[in-house]
Amino acid sequence: MLPQLFISELEQIVGAAHVTGDETALLAYGQDGLKKPHPPDVVVLPGTTGEVAAVAELCHSGRVPLYVRGGGTGYSGGAVPLRGGVLLSMERFNRILEIDERNLLVVTEPNVVTGRLQEAVEAVGLFYPPDPASLDESVIGGNIAENAGGPRAFKYGTTRRYVLGLEVVLPNGEVIRTGSKAVKNVVGYDLTRLLVGSEGTLGIITQAVLRLIPKPPAHATLRATFGSVDAAVEAVNELIRARVVPATLELVDGECLAAVTRYLGGAELAPQGTAGLLILEVDGMAQAVVEEAQLVEAACRTAGATEVLRAATEDERRELWRVRRELSPALKTIATMKVNQDVVVPRGRVPELFRLVGELKREFGVAIPCFGHAGDGNIHVNIMVDAADADAVRRAHAAQRRLFEGVVGLEGSISGEHGIGYTKAPFLSLELSREAIALMKRVKRAFDPHDILNPGKIFQD
């Protein structure tokens, strides 16, 4: 419980209407995509950078935990107020401040929903490529804090590539600007990219300058099916040999496909025996798209595709994406608990990752449907069990640890998109050495000497 005096000071900073201790609100603001609430002591809705700074300074002085929340769609607990204290919801920072067509950039407040920002810039012929699955709910600030990816990352990179500059409130209440509106900047340390992906532990983003690119004028969507994941991955290898860089290379495995088929009532969605399904999109100049789509089809056929479909209309495009779109609800029907991982391996080692998953299925007796971004080697590995079955849950966690160990053995990483948060903090040392973790903690102290900002995340105590 926070002292009443502290609450009064918060109310003086942001106004009493923007401070709440209501139980329902605390519960709602206390959770993210994991749906495991840790209610804060109080929720504060600041309206200006100055208010954010004053709240930070107050928490810094009083050694009160301060958690920042954007869209609340994370899967690793990054925004969850694990130790109570103050939950700062950025929802009033919801304006796009400037779309600068001449300089290909947008200046925005952090709580603009990613999909809305994309629509706004596409309306003037520009393009903000990062497309996390959550883009209709997640916000730019959270995307930056987590370095969000998405299907288009293979060609266009993740959020990091698009952040030119930030306005940031430091844990002690100081306000700094990093980077600039220039696309190149080598003045001092790259604090901008250090903040990207720092999971809300180093600073509070109050404004961002994002780089845009011209919107590719044309695109084409294809779907190819294969008798094995290996064949699907070989198609990707063939594509790269043909020097094609698709915008999107989504892979869905046979177990996912079966789940969607059942979920949609049994109608056949792909040829019998499909164990790997690729959804591929190419984009760019109209002529290039025609040429690349032909190369994509040829590469898939060379790798043994059982069927290659190409969308001729926007409706057909939606149909080709259907399996992928229905995946999330379909998986929920398999089992009540999804231990949802986002591991990543060097692209060519995806077949080895799937062999590892096959071993885990057999050894631990759990369903593990997989899908993901084949071009990046970033695969969502979903260990599905009945939440009420304690033994199954234990087996799921054992399988998860083995998965992480295996991924590190394959020269990969235990998280490509979701971050560490608190859920993966126990596994950090599987991937990072003692010296590297100690250095990161020293960096954290350089920003936040009293560990008030998002405590309990990334690092275990």
Give the β-pairing of 66-69 and 86-89: parallel
Hey, what amino acid is at 57?
E
* Strand spans (E) along 321-369: 337-344
Is 142 a binding residue for a copy of itself by CB under 8 A? The answer is no
- Distance CA(365)–CA(86), nearest Å, equals 42
Q: Does 216 bind a copy of itself (CB under 8 A)?
A: yes
| Residue 418, amino acid | H
Residues whose CB is less than 8 angstroms from the CB of residue 315 and which lie 6 or more positions away in sequence, other chains included:
none
Structure tokens, 301 = 């056929």
Among residues 34, 82, 99, 104, the one that binds a copy of itself under rule CB under 8 A: 104
Determine if 35 is a binding residue for a copy of itself (CB under 8 A): no
Instruction: Note the helical H segments in 184-334.
Output: 191-195, 229-241, 254-263, 286-302, 314-320, 322-325, 327-332
149 is a site residue for a copy of itself (CB under 8 A): yes
Question: Does residue 445 interact with a copy of itself by CB under 8 A?
Answer: yes
Q: Which of 40-48, 56-64, 100-108, 314-322 is the region at the interface with a copy of itself (rule: CB under 8 A)?
A: 100-108
Closer Cβ to a copy of itself, 116 or 161, answer by number: 161
Q: Residue 86 in contact with residue 64, Cβ under 8 Å?
A: yes
Q: What is the closest distance, in whole angstroms, from the C-beta atom of residue 4 to a copy of itself in the complex?
A: 32
Q: Which is nearer to a copy of itself, 4 or 433 (CB)?
A: 433
Which CB, 126 or 269, lies closer to a copy of itself?
A: 126
Structure-token match 């401040």, residue found:
97
| Closer Cβ to a copy of itself, 255 or 376, answer by number | 376
Whole-number Å distance between alpha carbons of 76 and 460: 14
Question: Which residue is associated with the tokens 């929720």?
Answer: 43
Query: Which residue number, 261 or 341, has a Cβ lying nearer to a copy of itself?
Result: 341
For residues 227 to 246, the per-residue mask of contacts with a copy of itself, x marking binding by CB under 8 A and - elsewhere, is ----------x--xx-xxx-
> In this structure, what is the dihedral angle of CA atoms 266, 272, 273, 276, given to the nearest 10 degrees?
-80
Which range in 25-33, 187-195, 268-276, 383-391 contacts a copy of itself by CB under 8 A?
187-195
Site for a copy of itself in 268-297 (CB under 8 A): 284-288, 290-292
Q: What is the DSSP string of 97-162?
A: EEEETTTTEEEE-TTSBHHHHHHHHHTTTEE-----TTTTT-BHHHHHHHT---TTHHHH--GGGG
Query: Which pair of structure tokens corresponds to residue 180?
Result: 């600039």
Separation between Cα atoms, residue 384 and residue 318, nearest integer Å? 27
Residues 323-352, interacting with a copy of itself (CB under 8 A): 344-349
- Closest approach of a copy of itself to the CB of residue 228, in Å: 17
Nearer to a copy of itself, 306 or 341 (CB): 341
Q: Which of 318, 411, 426, 460 binds a copy of itself (CB under 8 A)?
A: 411
What is the token pair recorded at 157?
A: 């990179």
Which residue from 5, 17, 184, 267 is in contact with a copy of itself, where contact means CB under 8 A?
184
128 binds a copy of itself (CB under 8 A): no
Q: Is 442 in the site for a copy of itself (CB under 8 A)?
A: yes
Residue among 310, 405, 307 at smallest CA distance from 356: 405
* Distance (Å, whole) CA 395 – CA 368: 12
Q: Are 92 and 111 in contact (CB under 8 A)?
A: yes
CB of 87 to a copy of itself, least distance (A): 23
CB of 319 to a copy of itself, least distance (A): 27
Which residue, chain included where needed, has tokens 């600030």?
Answer: 141
Among 32, 41, 131, 146, binds a copy of itself (CB under 8 A): 146
Contact call for residues 126 and 141 (beta carbons, < 8 A): no
| Interface of this chain with a copy of itself, residues 349 to 368, rule: CB under 8 A | 349
Nearer to a copy of itself, 87 or 153 (CB): 153
* Contact map string, positions 374 to 393, toward a copy of itself, x by CB under 8 A: --xxx---------------
